[in-house]
Chains A and B, each alone.
Chain A
Amino acid sequence: KAGVTQTPRYLIKTRGQQVTLSCSPISGHRSVSWYQQTPGQGLQFLFEYFSETQRNKGNFPGRFSGRQFSNSRSEMNVSTLELGDSALYLCASSRGQGYGYTFGSGTRLTVV
C-alpha cells in the first residue's frame, strides 16, 4: 500500500513569490491535514480537509490556503512568501478521527 506522497521534496523560492505544495493521501483516506514544522515553533497545525471541505483551521494568516480534490488529493498554497515561511511542510492522512495520521516525508521550503 503506497504511503502519503508529497511533492516536491525541496523548494527554493524568493520572498514575495507564491508556492503550491501537493499531497496524495493513502488510498481510502479522506481526511488530509497539513502542518508546518520549524525549529522555533515546532509542529503547528495549518488546516484539515475531508471530502473537499475544510473542517478545521489553525492560527495562520490568510496567505496560507488549501484545497482538496474529489480524489482526496490536497494542495496547499502560500502567497506572498516571507522569510519566516521557510519550514518543513508535512501532510498527513487518516481514515478517521482517532486512528492516527500517517505522514508524508514533507516538503522543505526555503524562502530567500
Chain B
Amino acid sequence: AQTVTQSQPEMSVQEAETVTLSCTYDTSENNYYLFWYKQPPSRQMILVIRQEAYKQQNATENRFSVNFQKAAKSFSLKISDSQLGDTAMYFCARMRGTSYGKLTFGQGTILTVHP
C-alpha cells in the first residue's frame, strides 16, 4: 500500500521559535499533490499549505514553508515564529493525480507551542 509516514508523534516548541515537522511518502506516480493540514482541538481540519509535485519551487504561506525533496520523497513543514495558536495536530497528506478526491494521510504529529 502506498503510504504517508510522519515519524514524530509529538513535538514541542517555544513561542517565537522555529520547528520542522517531517513527512515521507511513497508513490510510483509523477503526477501528485502534497498537503499539510492542521487540526486544532476544535477538530476543524484546516489546509496549511499545498505543493504540486511537478513544481520544484518550495511552497510558502506566510510563516509556513515546506522543504520538498522529490527524489527522497520527503515533504517537511517548517513553522517560523511559532504562535500559541499553532498548537494542533498536523497531518501530511498526498493525493495522486489519478485518484479523485482521495487524500492519503499520515498518522499526524501533535505540536504544542509553549509560552
Contacts and interface: CB of A to CB of B under 8 A. Distances in A.
Interface of A: 31-33, 35, 42-43, 45, 47-50, 55-56, 58, 88, 90, 92, 94, 97-106
Nearest to B44: A105
B16 interface: no
Interface residues of B, number: 24
Contact of A101 (B47, B99, B107, B108): B47
B105 A102 contact: no
B97 A102 contact: no
Contact of A56 (B35, B42, B47, B100): B100
Given A97-B95, A97-B97, A98-B95, A45 B44 contact: no
A100 B52 CA distance: 10
A63 B47 CA distance: 30
A33 B102 CA distance: 7
Interface of B: 33, 35, 37, 42-47, 50, 52, 91, 95, 97, 99-108
A63 B71 CA distance: 40
Contacts of B91: 43
A102 B48 CA distance: 11
Contacts of B44: 103-106
Contact of B101 (A42, A56, A102, A103): A56
B96 to A, nearest CB: 9
A58 B104 CA distance: 11
Nearest to A48: B101
A31 to B, nearest CB: 5
Contact of B107 (A35, A42, A49, A92): A42
A98 B101 contact: no
Given A47-B101, A101-B101, 14 more contacts: A33-B101, A33-B102, A35-B103, A42-B106, A43-B91, A43-B103, A45-B102, A45-B104, A56-B100, A88-B43, A92-B45, A97-B101, A103-B37, A105-B43
